[in-house]
Structure 1
Amino acid sequence: MLRFSGAGVSDVGRVRPHNEDSAFQGPYVAVVADGVGGAAAGEVASATTAYVVAATALAHFGAHPESVLTRAVATSRRNLRTGVVEDPERAGMATTLTAVLCDGERIVLAHVGDSRAYLVRDGELRQVSQDHTYVQHLVDTGQLDPADRARHPWRNVVLRSLDGAIDSGSEGPDLLDLDARVGDRILLCSDGLTDMVADDRIAEVLTLADPHSAAAVLTQSALLAGGVDNITCVVLDVVDGPAVVGDGMLLGALREPRNIVDPASVRRGQYSA
């Protein structure tokens, strides 16, 4: 039976006053959510979304991954809208979402925004998520050389996210069957890593055997490069073994229950599966 063995690190960075990234890492589901820069209550949006996705996945283990992720995203949107109704000052809050869900046989990615998912197989790093940014749109339409993407002044303009707008017509997430196998390694991360650390350095660090060491060194690399944003890295090894009932770790803004709209059943620091 496929599952994840991994670890994660989330750091506020060297510039931001607080952490608007949220993450969850467990044996069958992992999530990274990043409050969209400049929007109100980004930490509420990211924590609520990460909580709902993780809790929905845990409650429906073994069900069709695409259906579970679609339901989780729809519930996240409803909770975000509730959060805006409860506190109008949260109007405009939004978050990215990059999540992987394993049902024991398949691993499916749900993605929206500019957080990223990478897969390492046989030492080769490959980005498996598609950035939903203005700069990526320019690249896709042939208006920008991919080599110039990292230097473009609008590289952080996000075109798609999960938000709490009452009349939101936002698209749903991309859903992708990763066709992952035992021995693969998956990295979920916020743009606080990828804006500061090049892919070749990420690939080098991901050769470290221990997932926690890899996540910690990636985070430190972003800090040494300036740490201008929150940094979150979740490193997952795809393994084969008996089913486990284990706790998942909460990271970043998700560790604060007050950030979660409808925080029922939250335990500080971990969930029980």
Structure 2
Amino acid sequence: MLRFSGAGVSDVGRVRPHNEDAGFVGPYVALVADCVGGAAAGEVASATAAYAVSATAMSRFLDPPELVLTDAAEAARAAVRLGVQCDLDRLGMATTLTVLICDGSRVVLGHVGDSRAYRCRDGQLEQLTTDHTYVQHLVDAGQLSPAAARRHPWRNVVLRSVDGDPEGPGLDLTPVPTRVGDRLLLCSDGLTDLVDDDRIAEVLRLADPLSAAVLTQSALVAGGKDNITCVVLDVVAGPLVVGDGQLLGSLRDVENIVDVGSVRQQRPSWTDTRGSAGAQGPHRSQ
């Protein structure tokens, strides 16, 4: 039976006053979420989405990963929407979400925003996600080179995210062929804006299980201008493992989490009539 064995590190960086990234590392689900938009309560958006997705996945281990990811994304969207309804100062809060789920035999990736997933196999690095950004749109249209995209001033303008919009397109779902020995990376743009693919590949080739810490340190040395979250997973085979996971970043503070079940039991009735958080257009990732 396949599962993940790994760890993650989330660091506030050298510039930001607090950490608005969230992450989760478990044997069958792992994710990174990074707030976007510059709105207040970015840490609430990322932690709330991370909690909703990880809780859904952990309770649905035997279900098809695609179905779990679809339902988990809807749970995250509903929780973010409810978080805004309960406190309108949070209007516009949103988050990226990049998540891997394994059902023991298959791995499926869910993705929205500009956090990323990579696979390192036999020492070769492959990016598994496509950024949902304005600059990536220009690259795809042939109007901008990948090299120029790394320096473009609008490279962090995110076109899609988990923002509470009930009509949003949801996650891109991609089956990820995996085998024992593959190494997977989930990370926020606090890493990829500062550390190039060659350095990422070099670190992922290390046998050291603390690769996530080495990658985070690489981003700090390069300036650490943003929160940095890295999750490194080795695909291993073994018996079923039961247990919790590692909480990262804003997910470690329960005050950041909007739990739909709990809030509905105590929120005032006026929140039912305020509408949804809604889409706020393109966002700039933080």
TM bucket, shorter chain: over 0.9
Q: State the partner residue of 1:109.
A: 109
Q: Which amino acid aligns with 2:145?
A: D
Q: Deviations over 1:173-193 (max 9, x none)?
A: 100000111110000000000
Residue type of the alignment partner of 2:45: A
2:2–2:236 CA contact under 8 A, matched in 1:
yes
Task: Indicate conservation of the 8 Å contact 2:79/2:260, yes or no.
Answer: no
Q: Partners in 2 of 1:67 and 1:121 — Cα distance?
A: 27
Q: For residue 39 of structure 1, report the CA deviation from its aligned partner.
A: 2.1
* Runs of 4+ deviating beyond 3 Å: none
Q: Are 2:210 and 1:176 equivalent residues in the alignment? A: no
- Aligned counterpart, 2:241: 244
Give the whole-Å Cα distance in 1 for the aligned partners of 2:25 and 2:208: 15
CA distance in 2, matches of 1:164, 1:264: 16
Output the amino acid matched with 1:157.
Answer: V
Q: What is the 5 A alignment of 1:52-201?
A: 52-165=52-165, 168-201=166-199
Across the aligned residues of Structure 1 and Structure 2, the Cα RMSD in angstroms comes to 1.2
Equivalent-residue separation in structure 2 for 1:263 and 1:245 (angstroms)? 25
Q: What is the Cα deviation at residue 23 of structure 1?
A: 0.2
Alignment of 1:193-212 (within 5 A): 193-211=191-209
Q: Residue 263 and residue 233 in structure 1: after superposition, are their counterparts in 2 closer, same or farther (change >3 A)?
A: farther
What secondary structure is seen at the aligned counterpart in 1 of 2:157? coil
What are the superposed Cα offsets for residues 97-145 of structure 1, whole Å, 9 maximum, x if unpaired? 0000000000000000000000001100000011000110000000001
- The separation in 2 between residues aligned to 1:262 and 1:173, in whole angstroms, is 21
Counterpart of 1:255 in structure 2: which amino acid? R
**Which one-letter code corresponds to 2:25 in the other structure?**
Q
- Looking at structure 2, the residues matched to 120 and 246 of structure 1 have their Cα atoms a distance apart, in angstroms, of 26
Task: Output the CA distance in 2 between the equivalents of 1:37 and 1:89.
Answer: 14
Contact conserved, 1:24 with 1:250, CA < 8 A, in 2? Answer: yes
Aligned partner of 2:224 among 224, 227, 230: 227
Q: How does 1:10-29 map to 2 (within 5 A)?
A: 10-29=10-29
- Structure 1 unaligned residues grouped into runs of 5+: 266-273
Distance in 1 of aligned mates of 2:119 and 2:39:
30
Q: Distance in 2 between matches of 1:19 and 1:263?
A: 23
Shift of 1:263: 7.8
Aligned amino acid, residue 139 of structure 1: V
Q: Which amino acid aligns with 1:184?
A: D
Aligned position for 2:259: 262
Q: Gapped runs of 5+ residues in structure 2?
A: 263-286
Alpha-carbon distance between aligned partners in 2 of 1:36 and 1:178, rounded to the nearest angstrom: 26
Q: What is the CA deviation profile of residues 201-242 of structure 1, one whole-angstrom value per residue up to 9, with x for unaligned ones? A: 00001112133x210110000000000000000000000111
Moved more, 110-119 or 36-45: 36-45
Separation (CA, whole Å) in 1 of partners of 2:164 and 2:55: 19
Counterpart of 1:105 in structure 2: which amino acid?
A: S
Amino acid at match of 1:244: V
Q: Secondary structure of the residue that 1:4 maps to in structure 2?
A: strand
**Residues 79-99 of structure 1: CA deviation (Å, up to 9, x unaligned):** 111111110001100000000
The share of aligned pairs that are identical, in percent, is: 71
Q: How many residues align?
A: 262
CA contact (8 A) 2:37 2:92 kept: no
2:120 aligned counterpart, secondary structure? strand
